Amino acid sequence: MSEILYDTIPSLDLADFTSGDPQKKKKFVADLGEAYHNIGFVAIRNHYLTDDLSARLYEVIKTFFAKPDEVKQQYEIPGLAGQRGYIGKGKEHAKGRNTGDLKEFYHVGQEVEDDDPIKKEYPQNVWPKEVPEFEAIGLDVYKRLEKTGVQMLRAIALYLNLPEDYFDAKVRHGNSILRPIHYFPIENPDAVPADAVRAAEHGDINLITLLMGASADGLQVLRRDGKWIAITALPDQLVVNVGDMLERLTNKKLKSTIHRVVNPPRELMNTPRYSIPFFMHPRSETSLASLASCVDDQHPKLWPDITAGEFLNQRLREIGLKK
């Protein structure tokens, strides 16, 4: 496949995949595979999240993050490695760095409602009593993004010549995380480390990430020729990108593209930015061993076998959330 250098990420219509039209479905799969092979990012419209629900969640998280630090810190739970509840300012850093990112965030995880034994692996969600509507809205958004993610993974499976439902059981009750992020205002830029940024360059840990439209510019993606290009999710679109787990599973046939959130101009450092990604993870026992179809003489196996749970724990230590 020839390499394409995009100036912006491709935009695709998920309805082409779900409508039942075989030709539209086939073209969606081909276009998605081409984009994920070349840049690892697409924008998707006609997903399952409504604009109204998205706006309501943004209002809820703005209310929470506006609370005093001592209120928010009540929801920072020791021993959970940041997997549920609040994670304070500067606690996370990119792999390979020590300077904390200029952000705080909140984690909402999987809620298992049947007798699936995986339930015991997951901590309870933590909900702030000061913002009672957060729970219902947050869980609704979680389920809609998860449903969208399942469809995206079905298209990816077909692109990889796997059964369409290859990922379904692997992500059922997967260890996925909804992460509302507040890139907090910096009143005095000289008071933060010189190399501190909103989110240093990184690849996501998971299979795929689904990103709701952010409240301000700043997201950039590293193209394979070394050029950074700006990404803005339109209000009715989700940005969906390949994570490190999927890159590993496909022996880099699908690319987990490095991305970052840059600081605004100095005069705008005192303004906030909000963003809500959904990190779609498989169940912890899922093998990330490279698919046999993605390994050949021209593409030798790049990584040793590892499970999703082992890989997540390794990465949580690398980014400072787990000791």
Res 100: pLDDT: 82
* Mean of the per-residue pLDDT values of the chain: 91
What parts of the chain have a pLDDT lower than 50?
A: 1
Q: Which amino acid is at 157?
A: A
Res 213: pLDDT: 78
Class of domain 11-318: mainly beta
Residue 94: how many CB atoms within 10 A of its CB?
20
CA atoms within 13 A on the CB side of 199: 21
Res 190: pLDDT: 80
Res 130: pLDDT: 97
- pTM recorded for the entire structure: 0.94
Phi, psi dihedral angles at 277 (to 5 degrees):
-90, 155
Contact predicate 278/176, CB 8 Å: yes
- Annotate 14-77 with DSSP letters as a single string: HHHHHSS-HHHHHHHHHHHHHHHHHTSEEEEES-S--HHHHHHHHHHHHHHHTS-HHHHGGGB-
Contact predicate 170/256, CB 8 Å: no
Nearest to 206 by CA among 259, 275, 280, 149: 280
Res 2: pLDDT: 53
Res 46: pLDDT: 96
**CA–CA separation, 51 vs 55, rounded Å?**
6
The domain limits of the chain are 11-318
CA atoms within 13 A on the CB side of 6: 21
Res 74: pLDDT: 96
Exposure pattern of 254-269 as b/e (b: 16+ CB <10 Å)? bbbbbbbbbbbeeeeb
Bridge partners of residue 59, in order along the sequence: none
Residue 108: how many CB atoms within 10 A of its CB?
23
**CA–CA separation, 260 vs 238, rounded Å?**
17
CA-derived radius of gyration, the chain: 19
Res 209: pLDDT: 96
Query: CB within 8 A of 142, min separation 6: which ones?
Result: 108, 111, 176, 178, 278
Res 27: pLDDT: 98
Exposure pattern of 152-173 as b/e (b: 16+ CB <10 Å)? bbbbbbbbbeeeeebbeebbeb
The CA distances from residue 224 to 5, 37, 71, 157, in Å, are 8, 11, 43, 24
**CA–CA separation, 46 vs 215, rounded Å?**
20
Alpha carbon 192 to its chain centroid, in Å, reads: 26
Q: What is the DSSP letter of 311?
A: H
**CA–CA separation, 95 vs 119, rounded Å?**
29
Question: CA angle, corner 55, sides to 53 and 59, nearest 5?
Answer: 115
Res 295: pLDDT: 96
Res 223: pLDDT: 87
Contact predicate 148/211, CB 8 Å: no
Res 216: pLDDT: 66
The CA distances from residue 312 to 61, 143, 162, 285, 295, in Å, are 26, 22, 24, 11, 23
